[in-house]
């Protein structure tokens, strides 16, 4: 692991130092290091860690893990609460399926981009989802959308054990604003924009045959990855509670205007935890409904396909976990939990450890990994993706939204983008802005995965290449 781990020493009013796990060939922005130092100034902070995809975020870097004993930090969770990954296996060889056909079919059932609506719920049903997450879907007996025909109440509980927290956290709808509820109520079953995607992939390498077989993965297999979060609801909750934290003082000053905290035992802290859990439940349910719509389309074109959920894992969350004998609030922003088998006892992964899902950018490889014992050094965490190396504006340039005129050209040309996506079916909502998510805008996923494995954060089980990508 030499060369892949470095320390930011404690200095000034920092309460702890920070540890970075990163590839020496991938530069880290100075502003990301400044944000990491700011996180080390939070009261009751115990550990601060950067994962190999670290880049500048709001308040703290994306790709950071911050553990505290007495406070919660809304900015260390971020705006897209429980932005997470889900991987479906098909039991079908990719060569025997038409990925472009499937992607086009899925597109007709799942709206792409921001501000879209799909699966209707009345207020009582939506509040139940916010309170209980995926299990609440089984209590909804609607027939006004085809998604309900693809949720089997008898088989559903089996899938819940393949979702972190069983797809359900103790949400508290009573602490939510009317605006948050309004923004979220009609967005279930929608993908969203930004870096969210649905990707049809082919398994092109198995590095841990025993775990892969246990998880139903095999070389040449068609698998489907879904990346989405809590949509406008999560953004509203994040915005409101970051503003609330800024407006309060609790003895010690906030490290920055962006990075504000609340004691967990304060009224504001308890309200944020309940609201964050509600956002997590919405995101779990959103991915669950989209997965049902994906299954609808796969089974329509290829009946008898054995679709199964491998795992669903959140990224942007604060969770109370035991580390080194202590209970800590572990904030993962743009980072994923990576638990070993001993932490997965009593479930389907007690012999293998938790599946860790790390996608590349569209056009590059994605990986399934598993947690390793030495990862306690990183609070059992790993990065959630490749990580940006240039901003969206730098990648795509600046376009006059009204007239479509290019105000400033991007660093990635149209030809470079086409070359990077060659052989991959791309379906997107906005062709003018899609270069914001070009593979060249992200770090080299191979170098990032080398940092993950060499640092002892996780072990590769399987590698996948993209066949078709749906983007907002």
According to DSSP, the β-strands at 458-471 and 425-428 are parallel
Whether the CB-CB separation of 216 and 308 falls below 8 Å is answered with yes
> Considering only CA atoms, which of 187, 440, 432, 216 is closest in space to residue 307?
216
Pairwise CA distance, residues 349 & 310, whole Å = 10
Report d(CA 128, CA 282) in Å as an integer: 10
User: Within 13 A of 45's CA, how many CA atoms are on the CB side?
Assistant: 29
User: Catalytic annotation on 254?
Assistant: no
DSSP letters, 158-203, are: HHHTTBGGGG-----GGG--HHHHHHHTT-TT--BSTT-EEEEEEE
The DSSP bridge partners found for residue 366 are 464
Per annotation, catalytic residue among 277, 288, 331, 384? 384
Determine the angle formed by the axes of helices 99-109 and 267-301, rounding to 10 degrees: 130
What backbone phi and psi angles, to 5 degrees, belong to 43?
-60, 140
Specify the 3-state DSSP secondary structure of 464.
strand
DSSP per-residue letters across 79-143: SSTT-EEEEEEEEEEGGGS-HHHHHHHHHHHS--BTT---S---HHHHHHHHHH-GGGGGG----
Among candidates 40, 7, 35, which has minimal Cα distance to 22? 7
Residues known to be catalytic = 384
């Amino acid at each position: 692991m030499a060369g892949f781990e470095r320390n930011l020493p404690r200095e000034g009013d920092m309460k702890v130092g920070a540890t970075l796990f990163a590839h020496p060939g991938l530069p880290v922005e100075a502003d990301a290091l400044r944000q990491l130092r700011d996180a080390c100034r939070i009261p009751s902070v115990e550990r601060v860690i950067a994962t190999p995809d670290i880049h500048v975020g709001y308040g703290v870097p994306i790709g950071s893990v911050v553990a505290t004993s007495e406070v919660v930090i809304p900015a260390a969770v971020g705006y897209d609460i429980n932005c997470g990954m889900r991987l479906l296996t098909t039991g079908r060889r990719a060569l025997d399926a038409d990925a472009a056909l499937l992607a086009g079919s899925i597109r007709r059932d799942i709206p792409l981009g921001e501000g879209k609506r799909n699966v209707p719920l009345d207020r009582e049903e939506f509040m139940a989802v916010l309170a209980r997450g995926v299990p609440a879907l089984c209590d909804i007996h609607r027939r006004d959308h085809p998604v309900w025909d693809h949720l089997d109440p008898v088989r559903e509980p089996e899938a819940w054990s393949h979702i972190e927290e069983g797809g359900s956290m103790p949400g508290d709808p009573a602490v939510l604003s009317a605006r948050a509820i309004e923004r979220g109520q009609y967005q279930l079953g929608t993908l969203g924009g930004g870096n969210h995607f649905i990707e049809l992939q082919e398994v092109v390498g198995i590095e841990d045959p025993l775990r892969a077989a246990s998880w139903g993965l095999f070389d040449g297999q068609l698998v489907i990855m879904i990346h989405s979060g809590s949509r406008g609801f999560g953004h509203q909750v994040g915005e409101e509670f970051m503003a609330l934290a800024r407006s309060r003082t609790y003895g010690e000053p906030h490290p920055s205007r962006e990075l504000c905290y609340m004691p967990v035992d304060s009224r504001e802290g308890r309200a944020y935890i309940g609201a964050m859990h509600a956002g997590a439940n919405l995101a779990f349910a959103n991915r669950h409904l989209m997965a049902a719509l994906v299954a609808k389309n796969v089974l329509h074109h290829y009946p008898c396909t054995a679709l199964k959920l491998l795992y669903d894992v959140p990224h942007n969350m604060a969770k109370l976990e035991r580390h080194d004998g202590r209970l800590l609030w572990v904030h993962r922003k743009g980072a994923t939990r990576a638990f070993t088998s001993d932490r997965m006892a009593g479930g389907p992964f007690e012999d293998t450890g938790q599946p860790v899902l790390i996608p590349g950018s569209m056009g590059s490889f994605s990986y399934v990994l598993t947690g390793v014992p030495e990862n306690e050094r990183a609070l059992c965490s790993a990065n959630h993706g490749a990580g940006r190396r240039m901003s969206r504006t730098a990648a795509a340039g600046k376009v006059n939204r009204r007239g479509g005129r290019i105000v400033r050209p991007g660093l990635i040309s149209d030809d470079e983008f086409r070359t990077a996506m060659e052989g991959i079916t791309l379906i997107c909502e906005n062709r003018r802005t899609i270069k914001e998510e070009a593979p060249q805008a992200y770090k080299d996923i191979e170098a990032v995965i080398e940092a993950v494995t060499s640092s002892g954060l996780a072990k590769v089980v399987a590698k996948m290449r993209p066949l078709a990508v749906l983007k907002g």
